[in-house]
Every structure is written in structure tokens, then in C-alpha cells.
A and B are shown apart, each in its own frame.
Chain A
Amino acid sequence: MISLEQRIDYLPLNDRPKIIWPNKARLAFWVVPNVEFYDYMPPAKAKRKDRGFDNPVFPSPDIQGNIRRDYGNRVGFWRMVKVLDKYNIRCTVNINLAVLERLPEERSAMIERNWDFCCHGMYNSRSEPKGLALEEQRAFVKECIAVLQRTTGKKLKGCNVLSRATPELPDILAEEGLIYHADYLHDDQPMPIRVKQGRLVSVPYGGEINDSAMTSRNRAWEADDLLEAAKDAFDRLYEEGAENGMVLCLALHPWCSGYPYRIKYLDKILDYIMSHAGVWQTTADDIAEYYLANYHDQAIAYADRLKVVAGNR
């Protein structure tokens, strides 16, 4: 098994090939609503145990934890969609695939808008693929591919499961035909991920430019803080992007931003970013495709050369 250090190459900001985005955009901007389904009673074996630090976890049914998320599908999603439509945002949905089977109105709303889908596991209350044997992990990924195909007709290209990822997952993703993995927070640009077979791209995910930061008990953040952070991130990346194309990811959750007390701040974030020229508002699928077509191999070759130079020193 390869370690994380072997998966990613050290390509420092001051010594890497430059990226030029389509139409010389300074910034690729992807917006990723996490559309999730939390089990009423997650199966004991698969129940996530990694959520207790910021907020307490109750024995199932976890009303304040899991059932609170039900709000996102019933109410928050619809309020959020109105704002996203106002700016014509084409989203990449971090999708719990069970949503596509269980909640037809939500599925249709996403398909109608031609949004792309990135695998976010089947259920957010379950730890899979973590905890599964290698071949079970592969079966899990295949099942996710099949559900997306069956319910939307789309081909699954990416995966974001964060704390539920396994060491072997990148190899499985590439072998099953996925092209990107959005679990890496190590860069502001796409980067190659080393896999046994084929190619895989890291598309940077919003670790902190993420509305779930506002639900933590350990951080006194509210939506106006996220607005400031998103504007600051945008300003800096936009400036740097004049030289070398950058990526900004805005991570959202209907059960965070869809509340009446947060919605106008989402509107302000999008208003600010979308009022600038030179922004490529796109999906992670398209960022990964473009990177694979133009920069992936160059970055690998460059990284290999740096290793040779370091070896010769």
C-alpha cells in the first residue's frame, strides 16, 4: 500500500508549471452543495464515530444530529437553489447517492439544472468506505457508479468522502474510471495523485470556505464571518490567478446555509465573486477534465525531474 506522502508530490508554489484556464480566467470557481441523507437508525456496523468532537453524538435515533439534517432536504435546499439560480451557478453536488433514489423532487431539481455529481458516500451517517475490506470498497464504489447512472444517466467522475476515505481508495477510484478525488486540502490548484493504474487528479475542496464551519461548537463563526473569509480568499486567489490559474471551492450544505439566518450571506458571497470578470464558474468534473487534458502529465514529469535533481544533490 502506498502512503499519503507517496500519493502526492511536493510541488511548491514558487516552483511548478503554471496553469492557464479557458479564456485566460484567473480562477476556476466550483460550488459544491453537500446534499446528504442521514439514516434514522444507521446500521450499527457502519455508524460514523468521527463526529463527536465538535458536537455530541447521541445513540440513534440522533435527533439533534442526524434528524436536524432532514431540514436540509425539506426546506433548506429549496431556499438555497433560489439563490444559486439567481447567479446561474452550475453546481457540483457532493451527493449521498441515497438522496437520488429516495428524494425524487430533489433529484429532478438537480438534473434539470445540469449539475454534476461527486460521490459523497451513500448515507452521511455511515462510515463507508472506511471499515470495508478492499474488495468491499471496490464493490461500494461500483455501487455508487451504478446508482448515479441509474438515477441520472451520468457517469461518476469524482469522489469526496473526507474522513471516510481509505488508504487504498485512490487506486480503486482510478481503476473504476473516476478522474478526480476531492479529499485533499494540500493546494489551491489541481494536482496529480499517484495511483497504481491510470490517472487521478486532486481538485481542491473547501476545507474552511465551508458553511459547516458555522455549526461547530468550537468556533464562534457565523455567516458573516464566512462571507468575509470567502471574499478574502477570492481577492487573494484572483490576484495570484493573474499569473497562475487558481481554484476556489465554496462548500455548502442545505442544512447550514439554507436557514433563514444564513441565506442572505450566501447571496452576498455569490454576488461578490460573480461580479468579477475572469472567473470560470465551473464544476469539479470540468476542472479535472481540463487539468487531465492539459497539465496532469506535465506536472508529473516536472515532479519527477525535481526528484532527480534532489537525488543528484
Chain B
Amino acid sequence: MQAQQGMDHDYWDWSPFVVRPVLKWPNDAKLAVCLLVDLGHYEWQPPPEAFDPPSHTPPHSMNPYPDYVTVTFREYGHRVGIFRIMQAFDKRGIKATVPMDAYTADHYPGLIRECQSRGWEIIGHGLTQRQAITSLMSEEQERSYIENSLGALEQATGRRPLGWLGPEHSQSTRTPKILAEFGLRYCCDFPNDEQPYRVLTPSGELYSLPCMIEIGDVMGHFNRKLSMKRWVRMVKETFDVMYEEGADSGLFLEFRLHPWCIGQSYRIRYLEEILAYIKRPDVWIATGSEIVDWYRKQPHAAFRPG
């Protein structure tokens, strides 16, 4: 049984970095940066039919019900942490892209206003963080899940969102197709590249803005227990290499920040340090939509290897 050439699915091409055309960013920036500030809700008890991601269940995280500690610790982000992050971003004129779930959109209108007044972009992030997408769902269930997630944001913001990040990056085999059908322009789920790329769906134009998972605040520091100093160095080292290599062909850096984690009093200064470090004239820090609007017109987006 000889394997065919290329990927084992149709959503993107096999595209080794070395065969691609040069990618140009606006004003010849070396690097485009998209910072995801997650506003996701961790419910006390998800409905029994929901798929609670294994990363949110023991032994990986959370304690058996009733888990006061984890649930209240996440709620801290919506109440306190987010405002520290907003202050840090405002100080430097940086806009965030905010994955927001339906529960947050329904229950925290003040946060919607704060995001909108800053020009931050709100994107789909599922129903709650303890209800994920999986292939175990029927197509009908998945469609209504995504529709309800987007509908709650539209209701709360007055706008249909253009981007998507599934809870814990969760997907079924149908997800990219459904996202494109619902008119979404981009998806941040896939952690497999340092440049955007076109996702091939039969139903519309969808781009992947790939996320660098390991340098997120939760994955880099909270889950993996690296000290904050070491985490900051890791992010700076990432930036240094991509900034240097981005002189040849533009690179894209996206990673996740969680208000309940980086927004703590004892961590916020490390975010300040990172923002100060990456804010440079030849680095384009932008929202997901701004980046996709530029990217989709570049030859890089249309390139099909082979």
C-alpha cells in the first residue's frame, strides 16, 4: 500500500517553507504579529452531552466537581486581569484580537464595550471553554454549535465575526468547511506554520493564521511550569529569530494570552516587557482581519506548490 504524495487530507497543500514565494508585509515589515487575548468562560459544570476537552479535566487540569479554585481563578480574568492587559496595550497603541465565547458575549456586555472602544477585534471562540468541537458530534450539532457561537457575538457586538479559534483548538473533520460556509475569513486553530496560508474548502475563502502554541502564557508558563523570566526570554528569542529571518520573507507570529494568567498582579509586568520589546517600526502588530485583508491579495496566498 503505497502512500500518495502530499497530505492525507484536502484542507491544505504540502508546502515546505523553502519552495514558497517571498511574502511582503505592509511597509516592508519583517514580521506581522497577532496577539490573541482570550476571553473564554470556564463553567462550573458543562452540560452532560458536551465534550469537555481532556486538557480541562484531571489529571491535566481542574479538580473533581465542584472545582471552586479553577473556576474562580478563570473568572478573575474577566473581572480584573483583562483591564491590566488593556492598559498595557493602550499604552503602546497595540490592538488585540479577542477570541470570545458565547457565554462571555451573553453575560459581560461591559467587556464587549471595552473591546470595541479600542478597536479590538472580537472573534468566535465556541460556546464555552468546557464545550469543545469534536468529530463525535453530528454535522447538525456542529453547525448549530458554530452558529450559536457566532450568533451570540453578532447579537452582542452588532457585527458578524470574521475570525475563529475553537476552544482548545478543537475541530472535527468538517470544521474548516463549516467555518467558510458561515462566512468566516480566518481561523487560528492550526499550529503548523510561521506564515498564513489558504485553507482549501469547497465552500468559500478561508485563511489559516497559525498559532504558536508553546509560547502562549498558559502553555509556556502555567502548564509547563517555566518561570516567568524564562518564559519572557523564550518569547523574546522567538521574536529575535523571526525578526531576523523575516528580512528575507515576511513571517507571522501569533500566540495566546489569557487574562486570568498574564493579567495577575505578579505577572502583568512581564507582558509589559514583551510588548515594549516587540513594538518596533518594522514590526506590524495588527488584528487578524487586518492581516488577512492584506495577505489574501499577495501572490503567496495564491501559490500552490507542485
Give A residues with C-beta under 8 Å from B: 39-41, 52, 55-61, 63-64, 67-68, 70-71, 73-75, 77-78, 98, 101-106, 122, 143, 147, 215-217, 219-220, 222, 259-261, 263-264
Interface size on B, residues (CB 8 A): 57
Query: Do residues B193 and A75 form an inter-chain contact, with CB atoms below 8 A?
Result: yes
Q: Within 8 Å CB of A147, what residues of B?
A: 2
Query: Do residues A261 and B192 form an inter-chain contact, with CB atoms below 8 A?
Result: no
Is B134 engaged at the interface, CB distance under 8 Å to the other chain?
yes
21 A–B contact pairs at CB < 8 A?
A40-B8, A56-B53, A63-B166, A64-B191, A70-B190, A101-B3, A102-B3, A102-B4, A102-B7, A103-B5, A103-B6, A103-B14, A104-B5, A105-B18, A106-B16, A217-B223, A220-B225, A222-B230, A222-B234, A259-B214, A261-B214
Secondary structure dominating the interface of B:
loop
Known interface pairs A64-B55, A261-B241; 5 further A-B residue pairs with C-beta atoms within 8 A, sorted by A's residue number = A74-B16, A101-B2, A102-B8, A260-B245, A261-B234
Q: Within 8 Å CB of A61, what residues of B?
A: 9, 135, 171-173
Taken together as a complex, chains A and B put the C-alpha atoms of A105 and B132 apart, in Å, by 36
Residue of B with least CB distance to A72: B192
Q: Within 8 Å CB of A101, what residues of B?
A: 2-5
Once A58-B134, A68-B192 are accepted as A-B contacts, the answer to whether A105 and B16 lie under 8 Å apart by CB is yes
Query: Do residues B214 and A63 form an inter-chain contact, with CB atoms below 8 A?
Result: no
Query: Do residues A98 and B3 form an inter-chain contact, with CB atoms below 8 A?
Result: yes
CB distance from A252 to the nearest CB of B (A): 16
Residue of B with least CB distance to A70: B192
Query: Do residues B224 and A63 form an inter-chain contact, with CB atoms below 8 A?
Result: no
Residue of A with least CB distance to B210: A71
Query: Do residues B16 and A73 form an inter-chain contact, with CB atoms below 8 A?
Result: yes
Give which listed residue, B2, B8, B17, B234, contacts A74 with CB less than 8 A. Answer: B17
Q: Which residue among B14, B18, B192, B227 has the maximum number of chain A CB atoms within 10 Å of its CB? A: B192
Is B194 engaged at the interface, CB distance under 8 Å to the other chain?
yes
Query: Do residues B191 and A71 form an inter-chain contact, with CB atoms below 8 A?
Result: yes
Query: Do residues B54 and A261 form an inter-chain contact, with CB atoms below 8 A?
Result: no
Is B146 engaged at the interface, CB distance under 8 Å to the other chain?
no
Query: Do residues A63 and B241 form an inter-chain contact, with CB atoms below 8 A?
Result: no
Taken together as a complex, chains A and B put the C-alpha atoms of A222 and B215 apart, in Å, by 11
Query: Do residues A64 and B226 form an inter-chain contact, with CB atoms below 8 A?
Result: no
Taken together as a complex, chains A and B put the C-alpha atoms of A260 and B195 apart, in Å, by 13
Once A73-B16, A105-B16 are accepted as A-B contacts, the answer to whether A64 and B3 lie under 8 Å apart by CB is no
Once A61-B172, A263-B241 are accepted as A-B contacts, the answer to whether A75 and B5 lie under 8 Å apart by CB is no
Query: Do residues B60 and A215 form an inter-chain contact, with CB atoms below 8 A?
Result: no
Taken together as a complex, chains A and B put the C-alpha atoms of A75 and B238 apart, in Å, by 14
Q: Within 8 Å CB of B190, what residues of A?
A: 63, 67, 70
Q: Within 8 Å CB of A60, what residues of B?
A: 135
Query: Do residues A63 and B16 form an inter-chain contact, with CB atoms below 8 A?
Result: no
Residue of A with least CB distance to B195: A75
Residue of B with least CB distance to A97: B3
Query: Do residues B16 and A260 form an inter-chain contact, with CB atoms below 8 A?
Result: no
Q: Within 8 Å CB of B215, what residues of A?
A: 261
Q: Within 8 Å CB of A143, what residues of B?
A: 1
Once A106-B16, A217-B223, A261-B234 are accepted as A-B contacts, the answer to whether A64 and B213 lie under 8 Å apart by CB is yes
Taken together as a complex, chains A and B put the C-alpha atoms of A306 and B164 apart, in Å, by 66
Residue of A with least CB distance to B231: A222
Q: Within 8 Å CB of B55, what residues of A?
A: 56, 64
Is B69 engaged at the interface, CB distance under 8 Å to the other chain?
no
Residue of B with least CB distance to A217: B223
Query: Do residues B241 and A64 form an inter-chain contact, with CB atoms below 8 A?
Result: no
Is B139 engaged at the interface, CB distance under 8 Å to the other chain?
no
Query: Do residues B191 and A68 form an inter-chain contact, with CB atoms below 8 A?
Result: yes
Query: Do residues A220 and B226 form an inter-chain contact, with CB atoms below 8 A?
Result: yes
Is B169 engaged at the interface, CB distance under 8 Å to the other chain?
yes
Is B184 engaged at the interface, CB distance under 8 Å to the other chain?
no
Query: Do residues B19 and A64 form an inter-chain contact, with CB atoms below 8 A?
Result: no
Taken together as a complex, chains A and B put the C-alpha atoms of A223 and B18 apart, in Å, by 25
Q: Which residue among A56, A58, A98, A259 has the maximum number of chain B CB atoms within 10 Å of its CB? A: A58
Q: Within 8 Å CB of B234, what residues of A?
A: 222, 261
Taken together as a complex, chains A and B put the C-alpha atoms of A55 and B269 apart, in Å, by 29
CB distance from B126 to the nearest CB of A (A): 13
Query: Do residues B191 and A67 form an inter-chain contact, with CB atoms below 8 A?
Result: yes
Is B38 engaged at the interface, CB distance under 8 Å to the other chain?
no
Query: Do residues B169 and A260 form an inter-chain contact, with CB atoms below 8 A?
Result: no
Chain B, range 148-185, C-beta contacts under 8 Å to A? 166, 168-173
The 8 closest A-B pairs by CB, nearest first: A260-B241, A56-B54, A70-B192, A220-B225, A40-B9, A101-B3, A56-B55, A63-B169
CB distance from B85 to the nearest CB of A (A): 22
Give which listed residue, A70, A102, A264, contacts B237 with CB less than 8 A. Answer: A264
Give which listed residue, B17, B224, B226, contacts A75 with CB less than 8 A. Answer: B17
Taken together as a complex, chains A and B put the C-alpha atoms of A288 and B235 apart, in Å, by 41
Give which listed residue, A70, A75, A104, A215, contacts B214 with CB less than 8 A. Answer: A215
Residue of A with least CB distance to B221: A220
Is B189 engaged at the interface, CB distance under 8 Å to the other chain?
yes
Give which listed residue, A67, A98, A217, A261, contacts B238 with CB less than 8 A. Answer: A261
Is B15 engaged at the interface, CB distance under 8 Å to the other chain?
yes
Query: Do residues B238 and A260 form an inter-chain contact, with CB atoms below 8 A?
Result: yes
Query: Do residues A67 and B237 form an inter-chain contact, with CB atoms below 8 A?
Result: no
Q: Within 8 Å CB of B2, what residues of A?
A: 101, 147
Q: Within 8 Å CB of A75, what residues of B?
A: 17, 192-194
Taken together as a complex, chains A and B put the C-alpha atoms of A220 and B224 apart, in Å, by 5
Q: Within 8 Å CB of B237, what residues of A?
A: 260-261, 264
